[in-house]
Amino acid sequence: MSIVRTFVLSIYLLLIATNTHCATATKCTKERNMMIKYVSIRQFDDGAFKTIGEYFGRKREHQYFRCIGRDDENARTGTYFIVGLNKSIAKCPKEIFAKIYVITSLREEVHLFKCRVPDDRSVFVSEIYCGITSTPLDIRNIKAWKVEFADKNNKVLCAKQSYMWQ
């Protein structure tokens, strides 16, 4: 009888420990910070963002299911860092900025570009188009890069860098 009681007590304690661990893991998963999964770099011209509504006279750019932030809000042509996140952009904090550090083969100094991520975001999107539109950059000249997302207090939320940045 003592062996059965010990066995039942062990199973009971194991279930309690597993339930506590699972509850903690679920809580940690819900509160997990944003992470950058990938970064790709592409060049886009003004026509890549024009929609049919703009051809027929609509003045404002309609982003549909894209989240686009640019360092110069009035220009569209430029180099875009397409940043994929681990969760929907709608779940990210409001008032965040993308800081893009770039080293080119033309100059050995670090260039910093800062663009605001729009607060009106689609629920289904997990990519942010961070555009460097104020200064022309050629993708072939980029040697190293680093992308950071920071809040309004300049606290870094997540970052990713190229291999050459190290």
Domain ranges of the chain: 1-31, 33-165
Q: What is the pLDDT of residues 79-128, one digit of tens each?
A: 999 999 998 888 888 889 999 999 988 877 899 999 998 887 776 788 99
The residues, ordered by sequence, that sit 6+ positions from 56 with a Cβ below 8 Å of its Cβ are none
Amino acid making up residue 80 = Y
Tell me the CATH number for domain 33-165. 2.60.40
Which tens digit of pLDDT belongs to each residue from 26-53? 333 333 578 999 999 999 988 777 777 7
Note the pTM of the prediction, 2 decimals: 0.75
In 3D space, the residue among 93, 87, 82, 65 whose CA is nearest the CA of residue 147 turns out to be 82
